[in-house]
Chains A and B, each alone.
Chain A
């Protein structure tokens, strides 16, 4: 109410046509001396918020790239499918005999040709669920990673910070070795949530949930679970069970089914928008808890519930794919290079980029040593580690100087 430093509306430059992008020139007359002594004001008309425009362009570009990559990923594989076959199969969710030109004529002039039942099955039963799961898991992990990095003010934080992946591994390994493979996702999810609750309880037992305590508690729970996993494997795993356990521990999308799609996409749809819209609040944490509180954030409550949401989202992903590393750590850093560190702009793009990143990584994992398959975690690490090194080298530098990207 007492803010006289604000220019009266009538004195403002009439640039309201594009208020988001244009500079508001301060009317210098009533400002303190200090306001005039530092640097010239930006001339009117220079884009004040180039990043807003950039976010829209990048989101559009990523959306297009994601669709293209998904389509390509369905085409590529041991059984190479043509674009036409895939298109015909995709536009006919139910295989009703040979799909010919007669009923598929959409007026575009392209004749999709004959699609056999085998092709239809490859597309609908194998590749599409896998592609969609990869995208959902990538988006969920990247988004979770960005949120954890904001909540802990730590660039090395990732979605597994609260022991989620180690807890999931412990649950998964126990049921795998007990021969109850059907229960694997449930056990992994339960393990993830158990580890998260344990870590939060441990951190909260000391006092308020500060970033330092949270990280240490997560580390303690992670290490305990990892030790338990090693012990269980060492004492009981033999032969096939050992290979099965190892595959799960390294993370894989090979077993993706439509159930995986529903679980991962469902968790993403339920929690993703909530986390993305929380971006502005997460930004208030950038300068520490006191500053966040002074900006009106209920610090303890916000951090606790957001961490629970992240753990549930990550747990859902891990229950279907095993713990795939590097996505949640690297993707937020890549996106920051493009749009800066404000979570308000970052989070949605990070989700899109994560989906694209894991989709491409999983497709490479399928193709590189075909007919064999690499663990997708190897690919994400192989791509992620060098990228992360580059990001680290640039971390000290302003994100947008020189107008790169």
Chain B
């Protein structure tokens, strides 16, 4: 395991006079899955965009392994932090291999041409995401679950230090969610820093080594181990919904129940 870490301190961003995130401070470690939770509008996506340098005018700092992410050139940063998020479909038929090859852009630059090591990285990323068998398929013909794996392959082809995912479980069926969780766990076990914004409490609790909860005011409401953070009190305070935490009779993993 490499011992790198992501340190975000005092991240603040205003849009149109409204404070979206206010002094967000948290850490995420390499080799761990860190999950960012919070209600809609709490600023999860904003925090992730901040890491990618996509928030003009943001204040605070974001460091990865001691290097200031915001001081880096875009390509340099993109080579260290890669993103999996909801996005449009390509207008033309790109194959899965083509899509994964896009992940090499930060390493190739404006005018670069992919060489053997780029193709090797793409092949490895396709394998790691479990989509080698789909390499020649048109991306648009894939299922949502397959597409998400291909986006993951593209992000891995970057060979990043940190993998950032925005609601990676959205639109996925049960099997795909389970597969994605196993995959993220495996990637973290191999030393990658995984940071994901997630809505599903039960899925997050099963996946996370560490949870950071953003409250409605764009501030960190709680952070720590899932069992310490995802308590009925925190959930009710942050989401405004009463809940009970049950234990899976087989594994003891937390399951969240609402209403009743």
Residues of chain A having any CB pair with chain B under 8 Å: 1-7, 12, 16, 19-20, 23-24, 26, 28, 30-42, 48-49, 149, 153-155, 277-278, 280-281, 283-284, 286-288, 290-291, 293-298, 336, 340-342, 344, 395, 397-401
Contacts and interface: CB of A to CB of B under 8 A. Distances in A.
A211 B182 CA distance: 37
A38 B92 contact: no
Contacts of B102: 283-284, 286-287, 295
Nearest to A399: B93
Contacts of A400: 95, 136
Q: Which of B90, B161, B183 has the most CB atoms of chain A within a 10 A radius of its CB?
A: B90
A39 B131 CA distance: 8
B91 interface: yes
B82 to A, nearest CB: 7
A196 B203 CA distance: 50
Interface stretch (B34-42, B184-192, B219-227): B184-192
Interface size class, chain B:
35 or more
Nearest to A28: B127
A19 B91 contact: no
Interface of A is mostly: loop
B101 interface: yes
A293 B74 contact: yes
A4 B76 CA distance: 20
A290 B156 contact: no
Given A38-B132, A290-B54, 10 more contacts: A5-B127, A6-B121, A26-B124, A36-B130, A37-B179, A48-B119, A49-B119, A294-B82, A342-B94, A398-B138
Interface in B111-167: 111-114, 116, 119-121, 123-125, 127-138, 141, 149, 156, 158-162
Contact of A39 (B77, B78, B133): B133
A16 B116 CA distance: 8
B103 interface: yes
10 contacts: A2-B2, A2-B30, A2-B192, A36-B130, A283-B105, A293-B52, A295-B106, A340-B95, A398-B93, A398-B95
A75 to B, nearest CB: 38
Contacts of A298: 74
Contacts of B161: 1-2
